[in-house]
Amino acid sequence: MLWKAILTSTNLKETDLKDASLAGADLSKANLCKADLRRADLGEAIVTPDQLAQAKSLMHAILPDGRRVSRVQWIKFRLSRRKRKL
Look at the alpha carbons of 6, 8, 11, 16 in this order and tell me if their dihedral is positive or negative: positive
pLDDT of 78 strictly over 80: no
Q: Whole-model pTM?
A: 0.86
Residue 50, domain CATH: 2.160.20.80
Mean pLDDT of 71-78: 86
- Domain extent for 17: 1-86
- Asked whether residue 75 carries a pLDDT value surpassing 90, the answer given is no
Identify whether the C-beta of residue 3 lies closer than 8 Å to the C-beta of residue 22. Answer: yes
Task: State the total domains in the chain.
Answer: 1
Tell me the pLDDT tens digit for each residue of 22-67.
999 999 999 999 999 999 999 999 999 889 989 999 999 999 999 9
pLDDT of residue 40: 97
- The Cα–Cα gap between 78 and 11 comes to 21
Are 70 and 50 in contact by the 8 Å Cβ rule? The answer is: no
